[in-house]
């Protein structure tokens, strides 16, 4: 047999096995996402005091609206403070924030990071809080968000992730980003919890026992992906992260291809960094301590990012039909079908619409930009990559409130 053919077959099966591992993993957890979440019994009736921490870098266009929204909780007013952490805001924005019944902390760093802002804020505000709730500067939350998070703490959890959903779906890319978020919620949060693992953190809409979080963050210096770092640290230490499926936090979705590429470059960089840090220790923790939760988190850093998975399988599917020998072609086609079924199980019914069909046309463009992010990933973890947010576009929460009031 020709050596080139042998090498091709070996390479083919190496790639196939790697992609198959990713495909089977998301398929299993997609099934988990269809299962009901376990109901927890309250251990106390305490109304915990929340510090709603909102770090932001040059978010002048949206921060005032976000702070006003955070104040509108149907939770005792004396039991929460909204704390805006202002990094490089304009004087006019600071003046508007000073008019609100919030705490305003101005910060400035040579190299800005979310971790630095949070650490500085907790140093300033002191320890008179029970829970730290982290929001991004573009996040809006439902009026019952604090109540539902508090209920989770009443059942004994000290780390909780809310259900982050799209605030806007004005463009095809925003729709794809919203779908991607919901797939992650279904697989890595609801599915993980249903199967007995910790929910994945997502960087905002998440809450922690205050003193625990303050101590934890003292040793977190991540430039990008700080949520992944604390995710791994907690699971390594045996802390289970709860997921509240009906506690909604609205998050702005990317609207343009260049922003998509910029954001995914940051995410890919974080995944690579934490793969190097956690993958082998995760295997060791499983073998020596039976820590399956930490192993699961570390194993996720090994998985192929989903849009690359879809793109590569789509290309391979087409090639298999026409060019690849029959047995190998069937194996690739079967893998493609497994992934498609897993994704269909994970996408909420509200996305099955003509708008989504139009957005799907953009998938090849998304794959192209994800590939560009992959080849440009070097060094992204060493610099602060800011995703600019905007007040433009349809606000889904405001639309929902208008409909509810009719």
Identify whether 155 is part of a domain.
Answer: yes
The larger pLDDT score, comparing residue 100 to residue 313, is at 100
The larger pLDDT score, comparing residue 222 to residue 103, is at 103
CATH number at residue 199: 3.90.550.10
The larger pLDDT score, comparing residue 200 to residue 365, is at 200
Identify whether 136 is part of a domain.
Answer: yes
Identify whether 299 is part of a domain.
Answer: no
Closest CA to 357 of 113, 179, 129, 120: 179
Condensed to tens digits (0 to 9), the pLDDT of residues 27-56 reads 999 999 999 999 899 999 999 999 999 999
Identify whether 103 is part of a domain.
Answer: yes
Phi-psi region of 88 (alpha: psi -120 to 50; beta: other; left: phi over 0): left
What DSSP line would sit under 137-199, residue for residue?
TT-EE-TTHHHHHHHHHHTT-SEEEEEEEES---SHHHHHHHHHHHHHIIIIIIIHHHTTPPP
Condensed to tens digits (0 to 9), the pLDDT of residues 348-391 reads 999 998 888 888 787 766 666 665 665 565 554 555 445 555 55
Average pLDDT, the chain: 87
Condensed to tens digits (0 to 9), the pLDDT of residues 82-125 reads 999 999 999 999 999 999 999 999 999 888 889 999 999 999 99
Under the banding of pLDDT at 50, 70 and 90, the label for residue 264 is: low
Under the banding of pLDDT at 50, 70 and 90, the label for residue 127 is: very high
Under the banding of pLDDT at 50, 70 and 90, the label for residue 272 is: confident
- Rg over alpha carbons for the chain, rounded to the nearest Å, is 22
Distance CA 356, CA 179 (A): 9
pTM, two decimals, is 0.88
Torsion of CA 350, 354, 356, 360, to 10 degrees: 150
Per-residue model confidence (pLDDT) at position 380: 47
Q: Which token pair is 117?
A: 């802002």
- Overall number of domains in the chain: 1
Identify whether 39 is part of a domain.
Answer: no
Identify whether 16 is part of a domain.
Answer: no
Identify whether 375 is part of a domain.
Answer: no
Kindly give the pairing relationship between strand 80-87 and strand 103-107: parallel
The larger pLDDT score, comparing residue 58 to residue 391, is at 58
The yes-or-no verdict on residue 245 having pLDDT over 60 is: yes
Per-residue model confidence (pLDDT) at position 226: 84
Structural domain span for residue 259: 50-267
Q: Which token pair is 405?
A: 């009031």
Identify whether 261 is part of a domain.
Answer: yes
Per-residue model confidence (pLDDT) at position 325: 63
């Amino acid at each position: 047999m020709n050596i080139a053919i042998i090498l091709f077959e070996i390479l083919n099966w190496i790639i196939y096995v790697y992609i198959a591992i990713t495909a089977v993993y998301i398929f299993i957890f997609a099934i988990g996402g269809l299962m009901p979440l376990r109901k927890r019994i309250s251990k106390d009736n305490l109304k915990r005091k929340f510090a709603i921490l909102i770090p932001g870098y040059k978010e002048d266009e949206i921060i005032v609206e976000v702070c006003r929204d955070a104040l509108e909780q149907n939770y005792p007013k004396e039991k929460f403070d909204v704390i805006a952490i202002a990094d490089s805001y304009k004087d006019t924005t600071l003046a508007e924030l000073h008019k609100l019944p919030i705490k305003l902390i101005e910060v400035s760093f040579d190299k800005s990071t979310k971790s630095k802002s949070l650490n500085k804020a907790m140093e300033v505000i002191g320890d008179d809080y029970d829970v730290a709730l982290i929001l991004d500067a573009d996040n809006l939350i439902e009026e019952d968000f604090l109540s539902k998070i508090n209920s989770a703490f009443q059942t004994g959890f000290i780390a909780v992730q809310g259900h982050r959903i799209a605030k806007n779906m004005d463009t095809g890319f925003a729709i794809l980003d919203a779908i991607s978020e919901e797939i992650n919620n279904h697989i890595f949060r609801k599915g993980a919890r249903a199967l007995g693992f910790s929910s994945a953190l997502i960087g905002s809409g998440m809450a922690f026992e205050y003193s625990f979080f303050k101590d934890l963050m003292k040793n977190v210096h991540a430039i990008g992906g700080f949520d992944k770092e604390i995710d791994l640290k907690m699971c390594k230490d045996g802390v289970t992260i709860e997921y509240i499926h009906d506690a909604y936090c609205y998050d702005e979705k990317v609207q343009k291809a260049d922003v998509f590429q910029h954001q995914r470059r940051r995410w890919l960089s974080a995944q690579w960094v934490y793969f190097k840090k956690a993958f082998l220790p995760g295997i060791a923790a499983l073998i020596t301590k039976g820590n399956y939760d930490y192993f699961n988190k570390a194993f996720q850093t090994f998985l192929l990012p989903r849009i690359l998975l879809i793109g590569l399988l789509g290309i391979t599917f087409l090639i298999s039909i026409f060019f690849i020998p029959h047995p190998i072609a069937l194996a690739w086609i079967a893998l493609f079908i497994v992934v498609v079924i897993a994704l269909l199980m994970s996408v909420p019914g509200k996305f099955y619409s003509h708008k989504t069909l139009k957005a799907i046309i953009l998938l090849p463009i998304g794959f192209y930009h994800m590939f560009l992010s992959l080849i440009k990933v070097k060094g992204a973890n060493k610099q602060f990559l800011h995703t600019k947010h905007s007040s433009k576009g349809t606000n889904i929460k405001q639309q929902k409130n208008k409909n509810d009031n009719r």
